[in-house]
Amino acid sequence: MKAYNVAVVGATGAVGREMLKVLEQRRFPVSKLRVMASPKSKGKVLEFCGEKLIVEDLNEASFRGIEIALFSAGASRSLSFAPKAASEGAVVIDNSSAFRMDPKVPLVVPEVNPDDAFLHNGIIANPNCSTIQMVVALNPIHKEAKIKRIVVSTYQAVSGTGAKAIFELEEQIRSWVAGEPMKCTVYPYQIAFNVLPHIDSFTEDGYTKEELKMLNETRKILHDPSIRVSATTVRVPVWNCHSESVNIETERDISPERARQLLETAPGVKVLDDPGKNLYPLAIFASGKDDVFVGRIRRDNSVEHGLNMWIVADNLRKGAALNAVQIAEVLIGRAKKEGNSSA
């Protein structure tokens, strides 16, 4: 099996570290791995498959000889360096929002639209974490009954903001226990013991950019601009894993039993749905897991063809690192089948 020269950009962040973990756990065929980050992280030591790796400063010469570059360094860094990496011959899989809505850049969830990955011109976009888990669960239902409208409310963990937000929640809880004032630097209000209906910045129409991502990305991934999406995204004091309350309206009737049957055989989905036994998806169940968990599947009796469901997934894994590595696996799988020497 061919092995590949791989770079992880933003390797010291929460998603970057998870990318290293996923690459190792899934035994991705790595010939040489380079880890890169901002100048302040230069010289730090990370571990991969028992080998100690020195973090390099990201610069114009970073991508010579690299075949696959996994980016988790933020939109501004991606805009600056992803085209450079692609020009050096690497396939870039970018976790930021920089290229997601670029019509020339495929936006890929392997369980939903894997073939789109092969339409790339050097850059492939990884969708937003909350969008990924929702479309994995909704895609089999959309294929069967065609979804007309989605109303989604998210309950998103602080790890979605990054390591600083995780630390802030920890520190606020410690301060509360000690009876000391809580400091707020990452979020505009305390996140400990609180709920913030505010993720990303607000737009003129009152929606946040996070909410508009769920609208625009869902349409692009499912290749259906007619789907109507109304999202409210909320930050909650949970360490890891995003939860979503999702209501759908379909063109054709689909029973909860049929939806459950479809989801039980869908790739990347695990159904936990037995309310009588208090069995339903929880963040503590999903953390560290690869699957998207779905439960509370029931009819919405307020419309003719409606369903409600509860969707939970690890936002650092399926919502970011795992999805990116799976895209790379799609590419090398095709390369292997075709006897191609490159991704």
- Active-site residue set: 129, 242
| Beta pairing, strands 45-48 & 123-125 | unpaired
CA 309 to chain centre: 19
Q: In Å, how far are 16, 31, 183, 321, 329 from 235, measured between CA atoms? A: 21, 39, 17, 20, 31
Q: In Å, how far are 48, 126, 274 from 295, measured between CA atoms? A: 35, 25, 8
Q: What are phi and psi of 66, to 5 degrees?
A: -85, 135
Q: In Å, how far are 11, 58, 93 from 84, measured between CA atoms? A: 18, 11, 13
Asked if 233 contacts 212 with a C-beta cutoff of 8 angstroms, the reply is no
Residue ranges in the chain assigned as alpha helix (H): 14-25, 75-87, 129-145, 163-178, 209-222, 256-264, 283-286, 322-338
| Beta pairing, strands 292-299 & 269-271 | parallel
Return the HEC string of 263-306. HHCCCCEEECCEHHHCECCCHHHHCCCCCEEEEEEEECCCCCCE
Closest CA to 125 of 67, 66, 71: 71
List, edge to edge, every strand of the sheet that includes 56-57.
56-57, 30-37, 4-9, 68-71, 91-94, 123-125
DSSP 237: S
Tokens of 29: 């065929």
